[in-house]
Copies of this chain bind each other. A is one copy, B any other.
Amino acid sequence: MQTEVRYYQEPQLNKPVMVCGLPGIGSVAWLAVNHLQKELKAELFAEVFSPMFSPKVWLTDDGLVKLMKGEFYSWKRNGRGTDLLLFSANEQPYSPEGQYELADAVLALAQKFAVQRVITMGGMATDRLTDQPKVYVGGTEIELVKELEEHGAVKLAGGAITGTNGLIFGLAKPRRIPAICLLAETPGYLSLDANAAKAALQLSSRLLNLSLDYEALDQQAKENADAVEKAKDLSRGPFSHEARKGERDLSYVS
């Protein structure tokens, strides 16, 4: 079995920009692309299946089967400015080769649609919880890094980015597709850091000239903050059912 992209439609897109985010630390990238897709009502037009995903299937509440897969969405801006391609997946491939394989398949699709730029995202683990997470930026070209710095990002000077989000970014270079990677600060202990996702999206939306509603992410961020507060209170008192419930509210969703 080969990695295979199945098309349900062939959207006609104007100078599209591609935004990619797979699950990872704090689910930052996944939350951001998911939010973008819902807010813009972007349409699913293709899916990628691969033996590189883990060997299992999921069931919906209706008893319907879902494969592990990646999804491609398109959004048309009504002719003004660039259109969008979105990519996400419900997990990262478990093997190193699988991560290269998926990143390569995503970029092959990007080239097919003559994508002008690729934006990948991720979380950068720090040990502080802040209302205003910094967003770091790296790029395939210095001009891109500078452009994002003007929008408020901090240059990623050194370091490594692991996993598929990093590989989509890096493999864009030999394909000569301009690409940036935005990493938002996130404390390691949050599994769904909506605040970090919002910070990464705000920067992206300035670049993409989008005006987004962040209510859903704000709501999620508030729930996180409340849960953290509750956990702090409880760590002072006796260990209780409520404390454990608080932790469960933060459980990983992908």
Contact = CB atoms under 8 A, between A and B. Distances in A.
Contacts of A160: 56-59
Nearest to A157: B61
A48 B128 CA distance: 39
Interface string A131-159: 00000011111100100000000011111
A57 B1 contact: no
B145 A63 contact: yes
A100 B168 CA distance: 24
Nearest to A54: B96
A33 B76 CA distance: 50
A75 interface: no
Interface residues of A, number: 57
A232 interface: no
Given A55-B167, A167-B57, A174-B67, A62 B142 contact: yes
Nearest to A148: B63
A58 B169 CA distance: 11
Given A63-B145, A145-B62, A145-B63, A55 B138 contact: no
Contact of A173 (B52, B65, B139): B65
A75 to B, nearest CB: 24
8 contacts: A56-B163, A59-B161, A61-B158, A62-B142, A63-B142, A64-B140, A64-B142, A65-B181
Interface of A: 1, 4, 6, 47, 49-52, 54-67, 94-97, 99-101, 103-104, 137-142, 145, 155-164, 166-167, 169-171, 173-174, 179, 181
